Structure 1
Amino acid sequence: MTFRKVAAVLSFTRAAAELNYAQSSVTSQIRNLEASLQAELFDRLGGRIQLTEAGRRLVGYADQILALVEEARAQVPGGGEPAGTLAIGTMESITSYRLPPLLEMFHHRYPRVQLSLRPSLCAETCQRLRQGTYDVGFMMEAETEHEGVETEVLVREPLVLVAAPHHPMAGPAAGPVTLEALRSATVLAAEPGCAYRDLFERELSAGTAEPFSFLEFGTIEGIKRGAIAGLGVSLLPQITVAEEIAAGELAVLPWEPPFEVFTQLAWRQGKRLSRELRMFIDETVRLVREEVPARSA
């Protein structure tokens, strides 16, 4: 496992942090492995490392060994209480607005299963799943098929364009919002790599010579506070602004995005699912799909 982690992230320091080992332990394990195989697995290039030819060949065998370990765990779970750690890649909008009921249920029902949430955007989550760094990941994207990754679509996430009620684009007298009007407005958005922000940017930049310029915020909470203060308009998942809309702090503007995004659960293709991971997937599908009709009622 240590070799595969170092090979995935190409850093002894980062591998040690993700495995929760001391760096000296990781270095020692790799040196012992190289000594037993009588081959150098990594080229040390100053502060950087890269796989040697022997290291690249060993990656395939390491993947097979880890797959067999996963298969054994899945097929021989024993009668003990579910336990262990699941590394979960996720994004802010899902963590804050979709996961709390699931996390609460899992904490009470399976107290020995530790859920380790790792903030990451969709492309990074896919990469980490393929590398084996994450056990499972949540994504919000338009695409529902990803190379090397199996996905379960949980729910379509409606997107709404919002602004403060006193914004010039809000109110019945403002009329329908057009792309031309949006291109002239201040638009608040998350960082690049967020699927719905990138799709929105594509719409706003279509037919123009330069990419559209957003006023970027690091968090959804920051975007909402900025919109409430009248700084501009923003396109966000409806679930993230439902409370502010109900409270009259934000108004939904009459613009329908010509694209959709879906919240998805994903894991590495061909991965042998442990008992704990299978339970997590099943409970996630059940709880999210139960919650959506309740929110819509």
Structure 2
Amino acid sequence: MELRLLVTFEKVATVLSFTRAAAELSYAQSSVTGQIRALESSLGVELFDRLGSRIRLTDAGERLLPYARQIIELAQEARSVVVEPEEPSGTLTVGTMESLTSYRLPPLLEYFHHRHPGVRLALRTTIGDETRQALRQGTYDVGFLMEEETGHPGLETAVLAVEPLALVAAPGHPLAGVAVATADLVAQPLLATEPGCAYRDLFERELKALGEADFMEFGTIEATKRAAAAGLGISLLPEVTVAAELAEGSLVRLAWEPPFTLRTQLAWRSGKRLPAHARLFLEQARRLVSEQGGRG
């Protein structure tokens, strides 16, 4: 099996599209199709089911995929051991989330854009289980997590910062300016981003221990903040995402401290030797993200 055929197969299997794989690999679509057919011919099996305009992996394709990823990673590792360029370069697929991309990562992204233009950062927005699974499968090279736990099976992590949380509401809210107990929050209108976000799930767990807690979901942090400022309810959000609104007075912080602590982390698959550009990303993430947040 030729390495280039496995690289093409892995890309098609990841994005499930010949057209998108061709674009990401800078090939003509006919080249991608030809390489997949050549690999199928050499193995004597079909790797993809063609379903009109859609494709999916066959059982044989599913079995081949983890081996293809291991072979590709070993080849990349061997190359980096023998020849590492003086200037780091290459594509780094990074799992991230809205709160970090918008409020923590701009200095890190600016650093790579200006200092290391040879490093191409491909950001993928996922959270929690999705990010961890993508790291284990090799779909992501590194991924940011904002979670209570710092140990994750199959992954190595570097804790970058403690991530303070703030319970916020519109000015004039009945709970503003008074001491707030968890029991006081159960009957309040609650606003949140989607399930799967660690701080929302932990907040919901605390409230449901005392009674029913119904959340009005807004999907994004920006929409959730606007709803809170409009007086629709209260919301628990990372402090960094509401700092501007607290400073200008469109939101107020309620006197309730979460009984849990979240830490922003950078994770990668255990046993994977990070190439030079990934190690540089980790080094600068530790420096720039840690400078912004509380050190944990």
| TM bucket normalised to smaller | 0.7 to 0.9
Flag as ranges the 4+ runs of structure 1 deviating above 6 A: none
- Deviation of 1:120 after TM superposition, in Å, equals 1.1
1:151-170 pair list within 5 angstroms: 151-170=157-176
Partners in 2 of 1:76 and 1:207 — Cα distance?
Answer: 59
1:53-68 pair list within 5 angstroms: 53=60, 55-68=61-74
Query: Is the CA contact 1:165–1:248 (under 8 Å) kept in the aligned structure 2?
Result: yes
Partners in 2 of 1:51 and 1:146 — Cα distance?
Answer: 30
Aligned to 1:265: 266
* Structure 1 letter corresponding to 2:57: Q
Q: Secondary structure at the match of 2:42?
A: helix
Partners in 2 of 1:59 and 1:119 — Cα distance?
Answer: 23
Aligned to 2:3: none
Aligned to 1:223: 224
Q: Deviations over 1:113-160 (max 9, x none)?
A: 111211111211111112222111111111212222211111111111
1:69 aligns with 2:75: yes
- Deviation of 1:291 after TM superposition, in Å, equals 3.2
* Structure 1 letter corresponding to 2:182: L
1:132 aligns with 2:125: no
Query: Is the CA contact 2:66–2:137 (under 8 Å) kept in the aligned structure 1?
Result: no
Q: How many residues are treated as equivalent by the alignment?
A: 288
Query: Is the CA contact 1:7–1:51 (under 8 Å) kept in the aligned structure 2?
Result: no
Partners in 2 of 1:4 and 1:147 — Cα distance?
Answer: 24
Partners in 2 of 1:10 and 1:145 — Cα distance?
Answer: 31
* Cα distance change on mapping 1:183 and 1:108 into 2, 3 Å: same
- Deviation of 1:74 after TM superposition, in Å, equals 2.4
* Structure 2 letter corresponding to 1:269: S
* Cα distance change on mapping 1:265 and 1:244 into 2, 3 Å: same
For structure 1, the 5+ residue unaligned runs are: none
* Cα distance change on mapping 1:24 and 1:128 into 2, 3 Å: farther
Q: Secondary structure at the match of 1:160?
A: strand
Q: Deviations over 1:40-98 (max 9, x none)?
A: 23455675523324x34433432331122221232134445322221111001111111
Aligned to 1:181: 184
* Cα distance change on mapping 1:148 and 1:19 into 2, 3 Å: farther
* Structure 1 letter corresponding to 2:256: W
- Deviation of 1:39 after TM superposition, in Å, equals 2.4
* Structure 1 letter corresponding to 2:200: R
Partners in 2 of 1:201 and 1:238 — Cα distance?
Answer: 18
* Structure 1 letter corresponding to 2:103: Y
Q: Deviations over 1:170-204 (max 9, x none)?
A: 12xxx322333312111111011111111111122
Partners in 2 of 1:192 and 1:16 — Cα distance?
Answer: 34
Q: Secondary structure at the match of 1:217?
A: strand
Partners in 1 of 2:261 and 2:26 — Cα distance?
Answer: 38
1:51 aligns with 2:71: no
Greater alpha carbon shift after TM alignment, 152-161 vs 64-73: 64-73
Greater alpha carbon shift after TM alignment, 26-35 vs 193-202: 26-35
Query: Is the CA contact 1:135–1:267 (under 8 Å) kept in the aligned structure 2?
Result: yes
* Cα distance change on mapping 1:68 and 1:141 into 2, 3 Å: same
What TM-score results when the alignment is normalised by the length of structure 1? 0.87
Aligned to 2:193: 190
What TM-score results when the alignment is normalised by the length of structure 2? 0.87
Partners in 1 of 2:200 and 2:92 — Cα distance?
Answer: 29
* Structure 2 letter corresponding to 1:64: Q
Partners in 2 of 1:70 and 1:64 — Cα distance?
Answer: 10
- Deviation of 1:7 after TM superposition, in Å, equals 3.9
Q: Secondary structure at the match of 2:111?
A: helix
1:7-22 pair list within 5 angstroms: 7-8=13-14, 12=18
- Deviation of 1:2 after TM superposition, in Å, equals 2.4
The RMSD of aligned alpha carbons is: 2.5
Query: Is the CA contact 1:191–1:216 (under 8 Å) kept in the aligned structure 2?
Result: yes
Partners in 2 of 1:2 and 1:85 — Cα distance?
Answer: 16
Aligned to 1:34: 40
* Structure 1 letter corresponding to 2:56: I
